[in-house]
């Protein structure tokens, strides 16, 4: 029996949502106060960069390179990487920072003496936001946008990778952006892209299926 190999289990394909669904979610937070702008900036950042929620809440104020339009991310094993920020995410973060810095209640969190360890995304008390809080906020906006309540922060990470590959990004670049050590970990996303291509072919080509 020791010589008999157990059957290989198929890798569970990650779930991704459509670009239209992402846009509905990102439009849900308000823009009138600090917390609404923070929530929009968080969601834009998750989708723009594909970072893990633990990496999002671990971001410090000084990890933002607004000039270089990038974030310094501390991933698994304390490995650091730079990830580019899309225009929409950068605008949302700048809008959030602008309101925090003009609000006496919140601006203390980023005072000069606190800035080295200050969190980028803060709660209503000016402290670092938790992963659980991000999940609660996401649940709230999923309800407001009428989207599937099982969507998680990790779903945005999957969607980021899938949408990049769907639009021609190479696998190695996506691996680096996601912070995967092994390329095989990233390759699971190619199955999703292949499935989408196959479906598009089947739906569109007049001789794709037998009559």
Q: Give me the active site residues, please.
A: 52, 76, 154, 157, 180, 189
DSSP-derived 3-state class of residue 197: helix
Residue 54 makes CB contacts below 8 A (sequence gap 6+) with 131
Q: Which long-range contacts (CB under 8 A, 24 or more apart) does 149-156 make?
A: 151/15, 151/17, 151/25, 153/46, 153/52, 153/53, 153/56, 154/14, 154/52, 154/53, 155/14, 155/15, 155/16, 155/17, 156/22, 156/43, 156/46, 156/47, 156/50
Cβ distance 186 to 175 under 8 Å?
Answer: yes
**How many helices, marked H, and strands, marked E, lie in the chain?**
9, 3
């Amino acid at each position: 029996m020791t010589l008999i190999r157990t059957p290989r289990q198929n890798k569970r394909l990650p779930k991704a949502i459509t670009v239209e669904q992402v846009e509905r979610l990102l439009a849900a937070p308000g823009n009138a106060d600090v917390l609404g702008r923070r929530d929009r900036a968080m969601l834009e950042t998750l989708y723009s960069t594909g970072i893990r929620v633990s990496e999002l809440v671990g971001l410090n104020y000084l990890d933002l390179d607004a000039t270089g339009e990038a974030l310094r991310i501390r991933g698994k094993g304390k490995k650091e990487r730079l990830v580019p920020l899309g225009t929409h995410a950068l605008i949302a973060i700048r809008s959030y920072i602008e309101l925090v810095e003009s609000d006496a209640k919140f601006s203390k969190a980023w005072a000069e003496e606190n800035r080295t360890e200050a969190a980028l995304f803060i709660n209503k008390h000016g402290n670092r936001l938790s992963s659980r809080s991000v999940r609660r906020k996401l649940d709230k906006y999923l309800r407001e946008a009428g989207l599937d309540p099982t969507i998680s922060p990790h779903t945005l990470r999957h969607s980021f990778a899938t949408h990049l590959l769907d639009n021609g990004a190479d696998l190695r670049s996506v691996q680096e952006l996601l912070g995967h050590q092994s390329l095989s970990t990233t390759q699971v996303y190619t199955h999703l892209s292949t499935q989408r291509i196959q479906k598009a072919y089947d739906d569109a080509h007049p001789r794709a299926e037998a009559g």
